[in-house]
Chain A
């Protein structure tokens, strides 16, 4: 699909800059240019497409839907699926949480949404397609949804309502299947377009510095670190590689767009895909700043349980990937 781009990059690096093929510098540079352009193109496409979907599926609709409908167990899966198309910035997690609780949506279902939404978002999907191809992307999305669903069900079973902060418990007591008077704006696609376009631009603008640094570091490693270098430290037979990678990743709050290009190179150099995916899920899905924000609505114990359950699920899926891929 991107052969043309590779040709242009080759021409640029080997002909225009007249660097010779197979050297550290030329390979690193080639990698950087090719990756940067390819990633940006795919990000644009995916973010734009998701913007359109999201414009027709705003978060209020999702909440009302989950609050209104009895889904006989499927609500966890639905919440998780909605999480894919409705992105939210981490600073909205508290209002979102309260809004869901107030709408009478069970805690576990709310968690399912809160877990999948950051894990499977438009930026992650765009980057995944660009860096790892369609097959791996589908596996990632699928496991992200499954992870949210299963974690949500587990968290619901643990009956954690009493670990919410007192004011949230009060909200919970007054919860009802309330229907907000949400009037969907009747707009044509062309009316929505400027808003969507603006959002696409602002997302890309926000991640571009991280992305370029990430690709630059990746490019450098690509050119200078020998093939299979990590195999002996983090290969498939290293039993503790997956939990190590996950636990290392959780406190990290590096922008996913910076970390993914580096992970791509790590995989090239011998780290198994499952270990890498576990690492990425830890980075993207759980972060300390998010935990700090959630302190407003949850006691420390609840946050610990929440993070604990999700971390364990990530580790399990890492092992599964290493087994089947």
Chain B
């Protein structure tokens, strides 16, 4: 089953950087995942995060409030 990645953020610069990092990792390593941007605040709040951006992998919040490094994202995406 491919993993579902959700990136929560209202579109600030940090959120853009997170999207870029994740996309880079996914293309570089040919990972089979679906990436979804969640920009609606009401939807973001369903995840109960206080700070954006947040990285959600298969409905589990893994990183919040900061931009992760590529290595970190890769480690989270590969079992």
The answer, yes or no, to whether B45 is at the interface (CB within 8 Å) is yes
Q: Give how many B residues have a beta carbon under 8 Å from the other chain's beta carbons.
A: 19
Other-chain contact of A95, B14, B50, B66 (Cβ < 8 Å): B50
The docked-state distance in angstroms from the alpha carbon of A255 to that of B12 is: 15
Segment of A83-91, A213-221, A263-271 engaged in the interface with chain B: A83-91
Q: Are A99 and B66 in contact (CB under 8 A)?
A: no
Q: Are B44 and A95 in contact (CB under 8 A)?
A: yes
Q: How far is the CB of A254 from chain B (nearest CB, A)?
A: 16
Segment of A121-129, A147-155, A194-202 engaged in the interface with chain B: A194-202
Q: Are B12 and A95 in contact (CB under 8 A)?
A: no
Q: Are B69 and A96 in contact (CB under 8 A)?
A: no
List which A51-78 residues lie within 8 A (CB) of chain B: 58-60, 63
Task: Enumerate chain B residues within 8 angstroms of A297, measured Cβ to Cβ.
Answer: 41
Other-chain contact of B51, A95, A167, A199 (Cβ < 8 Å): A95
| Centre residue among B41, B51, B67 by max chain A CB count within 10 A | B51
Q: Are A63 and B10 in contact (CB under 8 A)?
A: no
Task: Enumerate chain A residues within 8 angstroms of B50, measured Cβ to Cβ.
Answer: 59-60, 63, 92, 95-96, 99-100
Q: Are B14 and A91 in contact (CB under 8 A)?
A: yes
The answer, yes or no, to whether B22 is at the interface (CB within 8 Å) is no
Task: Enumerate chain A residues within 8 angstroms of B10, measured Cβ to Cβ.
Answer: 91, 94-95, 293
| Known interface pairs A89-B12, A91-B14; A202-B65 also in contact (CB < 8 Å) | no
The answer, yes or no, to whether A247 is at the interface (CB within 8 Å) is no
| Known interface pairs A59-B65, A99-B50, A180-B48; A296-B41 also in contact (CB < 8 Å) | yes
Q: Are A199 and B15 in contact (CB under 8 A)?
A: no
Interface string of B1-14 (1 = CB under 8 A from A): 00000000111101
Task: Enumerate chain A residues within 8 angstroms of B14, measured Cβ to Cβ.
Answer: 89, 91
Q: Give how many A residues have a beta carbon under 8 Å from the other chain's beta carbons.
A: 26
The answer, yes or no, to whether A252 is at the interface (CB within 8 Å) is no
Task: Enumerate chain A residues within 8 angstroms of B67, measured Cβ to Cβ.
Answer: 202
List which B58-78 residues lie within 8 A (CB) of chain A: 65-67, 69
List which A78-111 residues lie within 8 A (CB) of chain B: 88-92, 94-96, 98-100, 102
Q: How far is the CB of A290 from chain B (nearest CB, A)?
A: 12
| Centre residue among B49, B67, B69 by max chain A CB count within 10 A | B49
| Known interface pairs A90-B12, A167-B42; A95-B69 also in contact (CB < 8 Å) | no
Q: How far is the CB of A211 from chain B (nearest CB, A)?
A: 17
Task: Enumerate chain B residues within 8 angstroms of A63, measured Cβ to Cβ.
Answer: 50
Q: How far is the CB of B23 from chain A (nearest CB, A)?
A: 19
Task: Enumerate chain A residues within 8 angstroms of B11, measured Cβ to Cβ.
Answer: 91
26 contacts between A and B (CB under 8 A): A58-B65, A59-B51, A60-B50, A88-B65, A89-B12, A89-B51, A91-B9, A91-B11, A92-B50, A95-B10, A95-B44, A95-B45, A95-B49, A95-B51, A96-B50, A96-B51, A98-B41, A99-B45, A99-B50, A102-B45, A102-B48, A171-B45, A195-B66, A202-B67, A296-B41, A297-B41
Interface residues of A (CB under 8 A from B): 58-60, 63, 88-92, 94-96, 98-100, 102, 167, 171, 180, 195, 198-199, 202, 293, 296-297
Instruction: Please list the 10 inter-chain residue pairs (A to B) with the smallest Cβ-Cβ separation, ordered nearest first.
Output: A91-B12, A99-B50, A92-B51, A59-B50, A98-B45, A91-B10, A96-B50, A92-B52, A94-B41, A296-B41
Given pairs A94-B41, A95-B51, A195-B66, 9 additional interface contacts (CB within 8 A): A89-B12, A89-B14, A91-B9, A91-B10, A91-B14, A92-B12, A92-B65, A293-B10, A296-B41
